[in-house]
Amino acid sequence: MHEKQLVGEAAANLVENNMVVGLGSGSTVFYTLKKLGYLVEKGLQIRGVATSKTTAKLARELKIPLVDLGAVDYIDVAIDGADEMDPNFNLIKGGGGALLREKMVAKAAKRMVIIADSSKNVEKLGEFLLPVEVIPFGWEMTARHIQRLGGIFNLRVTSDNKPYVTDNKNYILDCDFNFITTPAQLEVSLNMLPGVVENGLFVNVPTDVITILNEKVKLFENIKTL
């Protein structure tokens, strides 16, 4: 059993009966969904809030009941992956393009559990490009604003070289800010730019992280969120 499966299934074991569960996106969450599908088949009663159309499709295939985010007052526990994670519980997310919905679900959750294999642990954020979701109208102007903040951008495109379109009908600019030393400041600065919808910096968002340390599954609590 490889690391993604180990941490993904460990997160599923945190889910209890009658919970509203935020269902993240990505290859690690796939294993969480598979385990939750098995538990639902065995009698676990939950409602899931999907962060992407891809996640919603898989959840339905696994017979996991779904509910819209706006139909609940809060989420008991959200489970999602990360592209990068630093020692201060700051993340870069959005490699799969679902960063806006992922952040909305994360902020609605009482408990936010990030699952990540050991390759996602970094000392400083920035080895992975930072996704920034922007509206299509005048995206070039928005990109120039981002450049003034020090970011080198690339418009995300599909295999046929057309702009990648998110579930929210927006574009994504993948931005290189080198190593990000002040993620909280950059998160706010980006979101203040006209045309920016959201960015992939998740600063001090997780309450818990499940990862692999010394070849063992470990759960770390973020004491700053207690």
Binding-site residues sit at: 25-28, 80-83, 93-96, 120
Neighbours of 201 (CB within 10 A): 27
Q: Which of 84, 102, 133, 198 is labelled catalytic?
A: 102
What's the CA gap between 149 and 10, in Å, rounded?
39
Name the token pair of 81.
């992956």
Tell me, yes or no, if 102 is annotated catalytic: yes
Binding residues for substrate: 25-28, 80-83, 93-96, 120
Name the token pair of 117.
């294999």
What's the CA gap between 87 and 76, in Å, rounded?
25
Contact of 64 with 34, CB cutoff 8 Å = no
175 residue type, one letter:
C
The residue with tokens 């954020």 is: 125
Catalytic residues: 102
